[in-house]
Amino acid sequence: MATTKAINVLIYSGAGTTTDSVRHCVSTLRHLLSPHFAVSTVSANALLKDPWLNSCALLVFPGGADLPYCNAFNGAGNRRISQYVRQGGSYLGFCAGGYYGSGRCEFEEDNIKMAVVGSRELKFFPGTCRGAAFRGFEYGSERGARPSELLVKDGEKETRWRCYFNGGGVFVDAAKMKNEGVEVLAEYTEDIAVDGGEGKAAVVYRKFGNGHVVLTGPHPEFAAANLDKRNGGPEYEKLINTLAADDAHRIQFIKLILSKLDITVPEAPSAQVIPELSSIHLTSFIPSDCGHLLSRLSDIITDTNDSTPEKQIKDEADTFIVEVNSSSSKSSSDAISHIAPTDTTLNYSGEPVLNTDYTSTPKRLIIHNSGFPNDTETPHFNHAAFYGSLEYYRSLSRMSPSQFGQFMLYGETVTSTNTLLEKNVKLLTRLPSGTTFTATTQIAGRGRGSNVWVSPQGCLIFSTVLEHPLFINTHSPIVFVQYIVAMAIVKAIKNYDPASGSRGYKDIDVKLKWPNDIYAKDPKTGEYTKIVGILVQSTFLSNSFHLVVGCGINTSNPHPSTSLNTILSQLHPALPPFSLPRLLAAILVTFEEMYLRFCRPSSGLESSFVSSGLRDEYHEMWLHSGQEVTLEMEGNERGKVVGLDGEWGLLEIDMLEGREKGRRVRVQPDGNGFDFFTGLVRKK
């Protein structure tokens, strides 16, 4: 049986939302839910077209204006959202998201300039959301913001606390709707400016089908720490101080909301206010080779304009301060302390401060040309263990791999290994092919599309540079690189310890999901869970494709779903767990072996992916052989997966029904999604 655990928290960030509302949602939910859940923003197009329903634990509609929500989602979009909740999903609507999730919206009905009145399709709350509950609201302004006191009833316990409010509504007669599954979680204690019917319901919960819904009028996701007193006068500063005093109650209320939505909050949420970017260490299998690489970089190294000049690489996206043979590494926090975030740095609750400009923060690049960093400099990554493992796996190969992993960039905390390479073309095009950038933690990891997330410790995160000349691409198209690295990861996991023989690490059941995900089978439940994500990005320059092959492998962090070491401990408790340096070395050697096979000219008209036998190996490793699927682009008709096209890596499907039964359809990996668990192939 193949299922997936929903781990994504998707926050709508398209038309109708405000930048501040989205940022507050992201900040609060990441603070409470990382690393168990992946919190990211999502566009209207993605919600309308992507196969997100089975992997989404919580869908959030933030504050803003709900009429553009209607324009974007009325009809097919709302049917999709409703289906998601009915089938067991959860919806959280803050302010405008609360109006939008109700059966009817009545906003400023007597104000001809701002009135928004009409029925709404979702009807999660079957009645009317009427507002604004308090006067003074102005779009795009903090003038109507106020600390609104809420009365929260959690069982027999009652709590009163002040919550940020700006334009939200009251859920009319919610107290009368218990028979319809409505539960009032919080009430306004003050007199409101509109008729709320029976009671003054500020936050409501409802079971909807098999799913859960919470709608709010106020903004419990707004933390005082992330409000800027410069946005208003003395009253606004007083508002911030009032909210700060009640922030512990706010956190508890958000936890209550999440529990109603069937979302488990980690016991110890992250309390780091500003993640500090660490130094980036450049090393080599042969340390003195770093000196040769430094010479390759010399034409882009300049002096800074400081009174005490340093060497720098000022690239298209980032600036790197270059330091050679330092025995002690400065943290990039030295630089970050001089860059003011967009919002205030007040810290009342330990929540992350919004909008630190990490791109503008200079990154310190330390080049080690006489050895490896010591344990103090890189406590979470053992360079000697990595290079020792690299030498070991190379010694077992018949193909003399010598490039992948020969140079290594490592940072304990970085923005994104993929972004730091792909967006900085000067550096990218001067790094030798096979140079690999790994990190312990990413604070802005890259996924397919526009997804961004925080990658916690316990994940093997790396990006490898490949220079793929145009003349090679004629027989070895770059589209196959994503398949090759996926196969390399599967093989490296199973061959982690060649001495263990036929059992041991080989028993871990890992499979490929087209086009570039890897799933592992839980030996207890028999279910497959995503454990690896892959992203390949390309820049074409000087007759070569400069690829950045990014991978993230959940190696030892059991959250949010499972990890390689969790599965290994269930299968063979006595075996040593996977270590990140050794696993990385195994992957890079295997990847290089397969890439060398791939780059050999083919003997006929077929691509090297076919002639080398790599396509057959891919089919042996994937989940899809003979799988019956529904093709959305073919009128939802059924088809059967045949395999990969050998020329351009397309997914081949034979139609099983319709007027063109037997016709072979080819689906591109980019622009289409494959929801394996529902057997749905659809356009993105």
Please provide the DSSP assignment of 124-186 as one string.
SEEEEEEE-SSS---TT-STT-EEEEEEEEETTEEEEEEEEESS-EEETTGGG-GGGTEEEEE
Task: Classify residue 64 by its DSSP letter.
Answer: B
Q: What angle do CA 535, 536, 542 make, to 5 degrees?
A: 160
CA 151 – CA 159 distance, rounded (Å):
6
C-alpha 168/C-alpha 136 separation (Å) is 11
Nearest alpha carbon to residue 185 among 161, 166, 210, 209:
161
Strand segments (E) across 349-470? 363-367, 407-414, 436-446, 452-455, 459-469
The secondary element (H helix, E strand) that includes residue 45 is: helix 44-49
The DSSP letter of residue 209 is T
Structure tokens at 615: 């396509």
Peptide bond into 269 cis (omega under 30): no
What distance in Å separates the CA atoms of residue 531 and residue 521, rounded to the nearest whole number?
A: 10
Q: Which two tokens stand for residue 359?
A: 């791109």
Please, are residues 138 and 115 in contact by the beta-carbon 8 Å criterion?
no
Regions of the chain with pLDDT less than 50? 1-3, 271-274, 326-355, 449-453, 684
Burial class (CB in 10 A: 0-12, 13-18, 19+), 75: exposed
Q: What is the DSSP letter of 622?
A: B
DSSP class of residue 262 equals T
- Provide the pLDDT for residue 331: 42
How high is the pLDDT of residue 140? 78
What pLDDT is recorded for position 4?
A: 52
Helix-helix angle 614-621:580-599, to 10 degrees: 140
pLDDT at 326: 47
Distant-in-sequence, close-in-space partners of 118: CB < 8 Å, separation ≥ 6: 70, 104, 105
Please provide the CATH number assigned to the domain covering 624-683: 2.30.30
CATH number of 280-599: 3.30.930.10
For position 275, what pLDDT does the model report?
60
Predicted local distance difference test score (pLDDT) of residue 230:
82
Q: Where are the domains of the chain?
A: 8-260, 280-599, 624-683
Number of neighbouring beta carbons within 10 Å of residue 128: 24
In this structure, CATH architecture of domain 8-260: 3-Layer(aba) Sandwich (3.40)
What pLDDT does 344 receive? 30
Segments of 575-649 assigned E as strands: 628-631, 637-644
Around Cβ 303, how many Cβ atoms within 10 Å? 9
Residue 358: per-residue pLDDT: 74
Buried b (16+ CB within 10 A) or exposed e, 84-111: bbeeebbbbbbbbbbbbbbbbbbbbeee
